[in-house]
């Protein structure tokens, strides 16, 4: 017992010493101001674990739109708040801010692999390939639109199958959006009754909840301490494991029936063909690990972002029946009876377009944004940010910036219409971020 107590005391003293020495030794540059840093705790007392986003907004009122915080003893982050600061960084200095930072809840699974979490040459190769491959497969084109319309028809039939009984549409909505993603990734569509598919959807939902939960935010600050301990983060790893296992099975099936003489049916085919083409080139990043991590993340992100946005839009239409009525009247007025809306009809449906944009703005699905890394020492707003500095661009603060959106907490589709009723999109509408790290599927 005495020996254990001695080792525990030595460990605490060592951590205290490191926390006192490392921030000063790693700081460098001329960083933005921020709250005083406490040994071991960083800015824990000012931020309150579990309420990280609101805590950062509160600090911005004192320190301005660009400031520095410490998440725990060693993780130093520069925070960007509001449209101007985020635009200047990710837009005007896009290359300097193009690195991907740390997301502790996901890093153990992805570990710098795949198009979303890669950096440097790996990221450049994977992003260029993924963007071109998805375009070739029809994303943003008529072919992709037809996939969406067919899935929407099946979703409507599933709704009609409830015969007017109360039901929760959440799972069906997520399955419908995921099926569109699965067609692009695997050239497969799954039945809504498929139990494995349902498990994948629940795992994706559990992953999103785990990341955004109070515990997920706490883990983000203290992963160095909590990682080896039991807790909710172990359930998050199981959810990610379910997604990765599903993806691995699909890749194995594709590898078994890949026909190199035919065009790629989907993204997995395209990646496998590229792997075969570059097999003798050691400088290329088309590896099985990067394939699995790219597809796993696209499956998760595509399913959850679109599904959550559609659910939220439906809730808003239920809450505001007068808006629902206007959308219905516009659709009936502008479209022939029985015709599904298409991208070609967008200019004729400005109010419907405005409602969808306002739903995304108000939801602000990823208010913290995703962490960035400074790729080279740079000057920003009079501060010197050393290479490797981590940056949090708070997208929620952009979408709810009162300098751009009057009364930002209110649902008002009219903010996306001009005086003549035509659709307009402010530059501050950035639900998918901007710059070189903006979301691939935006």
Q: Which of 35, 12, 8 is nearest to 23 (CA)?
A: 35
pLDDT in tens, 120-169: 999 999 999 999 999 998 776 667 788 899 999 999 999 999 998 999 99
Which of the listed residues 255, 284, 319 is the one where a domain comes to its end?
A: 319
- Report yes or no on 351 lying in a domain: no
140, 192: one domain = yes
What average pLDDT score do residues 167-193 get? 96
- Report yes or no on 6 lying in a domain: no
For residue 9, pLDDT over 50 is answered with no
pLDDT in tens, 226-261: 888 888 889 999 999 999 999 999 999 999 998 888
Which of the listed residues 263, 284, 319 is the one where a domain comes to its end?
A: 319
72, 162: one domain = no
Domain with residue 405: its CATH number is 3.30.43.20
What are the CA-CA distances from residue 52 to residues 134, 367, 377 (Å)?
A: 35, 10, 27
Which residue range is the domain that position 254 belongs to?
Answer: 107-319
- Report yes or no on 325 lying in a domain: no
Task: Return the pLDDT at 15.
Answer: 52
Domain with residue 140: its CATH number is 1.10.630.10
Confidence (pTM)? 0.90
For residue 1, pLDDT over 80 is answered with no
Strand 390-394 vs strand 75-81: parallel, antiparallel, or unpaired?
Answer: parallel
182, 232: one domain = yes
90, 128: one domain = no
- DSSP code string of 171-189: HHHHHHHHHHHHHHHHS--
168, 189: one domain = yes
Residues 192 and 410: their CA atoms lie apart, in Å, by: 35
- Report yes or no on 126 lying in a domain: yes
46, 132: one domain = no
Share of the chain above pLDDT 70, in %: 92
Q: Is-contact 426 405, C-beta < 8 A?
A: yes
**How is the chain split among helix, strand and coil, in percent rounded to 5?**
60, 5, 35
219 versus 403: the higher-pLDDT residue is 403
Q: Which of 23, 17, 53, 49 is nearest to 37 (CA)?
A: 23
Burial grade of 337 (CB within 10 A; 0-12, 13-18, 19 or more): exposed
Which of the listed residues 286, 304, 319 is the one where a domain comes to its end?
A: 319
* CA atoms in the 13 A half-sphere facing the CB of 59: 27
Phi and psi (nearest 5°) for 192? -65, -20
pLDDT in tens, 18-30: 545 544 434 556 9
Confidence of residue 17 (pLDDT cuts 50, 70, 90): low
Task: Return the pLDDT at 23.
Answer: 47
Residues 62 and 160: their CA atoms lie apart, in Å, by: 53
- Report yes or no on 11 lying in a domain: no
Residues sharing a CB contact under 8 Å with residue 133, sequence separation 6 or more, in sequence order: 264, 267, 270, 271
- Report yes or no on 324 lying in a domain: no
- Report yes or no on 352 lying in a domain: no
Residues 183 and 148: their CA atoms lie apart, in Å, by: 10
90, 150: one domain = no
Residues 433 and 101: their CA atoms lie apart, in Å, by: 14
49 versus 327: the higher-pLDDT residue is 327
28, 132: one domain = no
- Helices 232-256 & 195-212 angle (0-180, nearest 10): 140
429, 369: one domain = yes
Q: Which of 435, 292, 432, 262 is nearest to 361 (CA)?
A: 432
Residues 3 and 11: their CA atoms lie apart, in Å, by: 12
What are the CA-CA distances from residue 145 to residues 139, 156, 157, 229 (Å)?
A: 8, 17, 19, 46
74, 144: one domain = no
- Report yes or no on 329 lying in a domain: no
115, 97: one domain = no
Burial grade of 206 (CB within 10 A; 0-12, 13-18, 19 or more): middle
369, 417: one domain = yes
Number of domains making up the chain = 2
Average pLDDT, the chain: 91
Share of the chain above pLDDT 90, in %: 75
């Amino acid at each position: 017992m005495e020996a254990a107590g001695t080792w525990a005391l030595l460990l605490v003293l060592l951590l205290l010493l490191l926390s006192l020495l490392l921030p000063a030794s790693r700081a460098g540059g001329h960083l933005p101001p921020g709250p005083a840093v406490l040994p071991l705790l960083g800015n824990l007392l000012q931020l309150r674990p579990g309420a990280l986003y609101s805590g950062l907004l509160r600090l911005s009122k004192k320190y301005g739109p660009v400031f520095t915080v410490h998440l725990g003893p060693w993780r130093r982050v520069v925070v960007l708040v509001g449209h101007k600061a985020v635009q200047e960084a990710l837009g005007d200095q896009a290359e300097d801010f193009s690195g991907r930072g740390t997301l502790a809840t996901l890093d153990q699974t992805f570990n710098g692999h795949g198009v979303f979490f890669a950096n440097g040459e790996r990221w450049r190769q994977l992003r260029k390939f993924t963007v071109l491959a998805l375009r070739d497969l029809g994303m943003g084109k008529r072919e992709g639109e037809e996939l969406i319309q067919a899935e929407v028809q099946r979703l409507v039939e599933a709704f009609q199958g409830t015969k007017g009984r109360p039901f929760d549409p959440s799972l069906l909505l997520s399955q419908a959006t995921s099926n569109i993603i699965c067609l692009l990734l695997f050239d497969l569509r799954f039945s809504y009754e498929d139990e494995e598919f349902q498990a994948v959807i629940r795992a994706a939902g559990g992953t999103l909840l785990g990341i955004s939960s109070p515990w997920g935010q706490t883990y983000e600050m203290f992963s160095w301490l909590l990682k080896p301990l039991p807790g909710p983060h172990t359930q998050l790893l199981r959810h990610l494991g379910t997604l990765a296992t599903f993806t691995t099975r699909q890749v194995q099936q594709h590898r078994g029936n890949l026909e190199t003489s035919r065009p790629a049916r989907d993204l997995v085919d395209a990646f496998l063909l590229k792997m075969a083409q570059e097999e003798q080139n050691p400088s290329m990043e088309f590896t099985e690990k990067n394939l699995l991590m790219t597809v796993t993340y696209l499956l998760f992100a595509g399913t959850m972002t679109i599904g959550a946005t559609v659910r939220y839009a439906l809730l808003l239409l239920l809450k505001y029946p007068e808006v629902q009525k206007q959308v219905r009247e516009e659709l009936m007025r502008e479209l022939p009876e029985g015709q599904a809306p298409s991208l070609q009809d967008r200019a004729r449906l400005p109010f419907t377009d405005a409602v969808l944009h306002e739903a995304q703005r108000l939801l602000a699905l990823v208010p913290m944004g995703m962490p960035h890394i400074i790729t080279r020492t740079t000057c920003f707003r009079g501060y010197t940010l050393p290479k490797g500095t981590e940056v949090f661009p708070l997208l929620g603060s952009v979408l709810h910036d009162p300098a751009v959106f009057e009364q930002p907490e209110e649902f008002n589709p009219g903010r996306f219409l001009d005086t003549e009723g035509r659709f307009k999109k402010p530059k501050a509408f950035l639900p998918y971020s901007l710059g070189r790290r903006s979301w691939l599927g935006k």
